[in-house]
Homo-oligomer: A and B are copies of this chain.
Amino acid sequence: MKAEIIAVGSELLSPDRLDTNSLFLTEKLNEAGFRVHLKTIVGDRKEDIARVVAAALERSDLIMIIGGLGPTDDDLTRPAVAGVLGRRLRTDPDVVAVIRMRFAARGVVMPRINERQAQVIDGAQVLSNPFGTAPAMWIEEKGVKIALLPGPPRELQAIYLQSVQPRVEACAEGKRLTRRSLHVVGMTESEVDSLAAPVYRRYRNVETTILASSAQIFLHLNEWVSRGEEPAQAIELASRLEQVLGDAVYSTSGESLEAVVGAMLRGSGRSLSVAESCTAGMLAARITRVPGSSDYFLGGVLCYSNIVKRELCGVPAALLDSHGAVSAEVAEALAGGVRRACKSSLGLSITGVAGPGGGTVEKPVGLVYIGLADERMSWSDRRVIPGDRESVRERAATYALAHLRRYLLDESRGAPGTRAEDPRATLPETPQ
């Protein structure tokens, strides 16, 4: 069945704002069995809203109209929709009472203007708003279902889950969209696609999309299945893709890379500290996005300047002088140094040239070294990352997490310290 989403508000036609409510609604509508076939963003003009709604009535089974339910002159969704449907707007005394109570609870007398929010389209079901004054509405017109929802995401989501979802479910027919995802790290988008495309192209009933973000690749497998059925094709495809992509797949259940690495650390009983130069906290911020990360993450050093590399990570001045701050040697010394300073089992470090300035022929913008140290050895990984300052930094943090994941994977397979790539023997431990 076909749904369409209409977002109302001139601010959504400015260069400052996007309609993000439609992502939430699309996910929920897909799950219920509706395909979103069109989204429209229209300004606060009654005739524009009316024209879009009239067109939607001709082509969709379900219409979600977001916004324009506030109390001011700019809020025109109610009269526009009433006009298209040829129905009257009337002030609902029960709704007025609810709005008045909401103001009274804050010790404020309801401004006269808010009475406008109690205007209800004839025949509409009023859906109460637990977080705001604008109630939502559910209307049925010649077999088409229409929901009017307020724009603030918290209000929209609460009303959807409480009142709209059951109504949507009740009128949904046919298949529902089910989703499977594979998250990949350590390969480029085109590497993933060249391995995955020959596989997923054979699954015509599964819609496969590949998205890349911060050096991670996300494969989404969508399949429409009948109620109560398993997405058999998507499950089979996911398993084939896992075979061809190998352990570059770090999650099949939507977990973030930092959550996966965190669970591995917790499982191994090891603790972690980090030393970040060019990323200056972006790696630690990601690690600690995971609630409970204090179980394995102790902290670390923001070694942005050489003075901090020396003072807090114990990197010898001579090493900085001879190899430069951006080098495999310093990356490993930082990893070992932060490990000792924070008394953690593992130390992970990033040092690089994020740009835009500071690049040279030997050490160009985008050059990054990841360092890793345990109680016995240290390793490093060299990357040259394309893009601007922020994407170099974001990807460097991803590579550091991927490097740590690789170490923990190898270790769990009983091959600690015997990795094929770059098994560089470490610098001797400098006592601190």
Contact = CB atoms under 8 A, between A and B. Distances in A.
21 contacts: A13-B37, A14-B30, A15-B24, A16-B218, A17-B211, A280-B287, A280-B297, A280-B299, A281-B281, A284-B302, A285-B393, A291-B355, A291-B357, A294-B304, A297-B304, A298-B307, A299-B305, A299-B308, A300-B304, A301-B301, A301-B312
Given A48-B38, A357-B291, A304 B308 contact: no
A18 B16 contact: no
Contacts of A343: 307, 311
Interface string A199-229: 0000000010101000000101010000000
Q: Give the most central of A16, A222, A278, A303: most B CB within 10 Å.
A: A16
Contact of A273 (B13, B17, B308): B308
A23 B13 contact: no
Contacts of A389: 289, 291
A393 B298 CA distance: 17
B304 A302 contact: no
A283 B278 CA distance: 14
Interface stretch (A39-47, A86-94, A141-149, A411-419): A39-47
Contact of A38 (B35, B40, B292): B40
Contact of A342 (B35, B297, B312): B312
Interface residues of A, number: 76
Stoichiometry (number of copies): 2
A236 interface: no
Nearest to A280: B288
A102 B396 CA distance: 30
Contacts of A297: 280, 304-305
Contacts of A17: 211
A65 to B, nearest CB: 15
Interface in A75-95: none
A256 interface: no
B284 A14 contact: no
Contacts of A237: none
Given A37-B43, A282-B281, A341-B311, A299 B289 contact: no
B26 A13 contact: yes
A330 interface: no
Given A288-B280, A302-B299, A390-B289, A311 B342 contact: yes
Nearest to A297: B304
A165 interface: no
A193 interface: no
Contacts of A35: 13
A48 B355 CA distance: 44
A281 B299 CA distance: 9
A188 interface: no
A299 B294 contact: no
Nearest to A179: B15
A27 interface: yes
A11 interface: yes
B304 A298 contact: yes
Given A12-B39, A37-B45, A38-B52, 9 more contacts: A13-B37, A16-B218, A18-B19, A39-B40, A273-B308, A280-B299, A282-B285, A294-B304, A299-B303
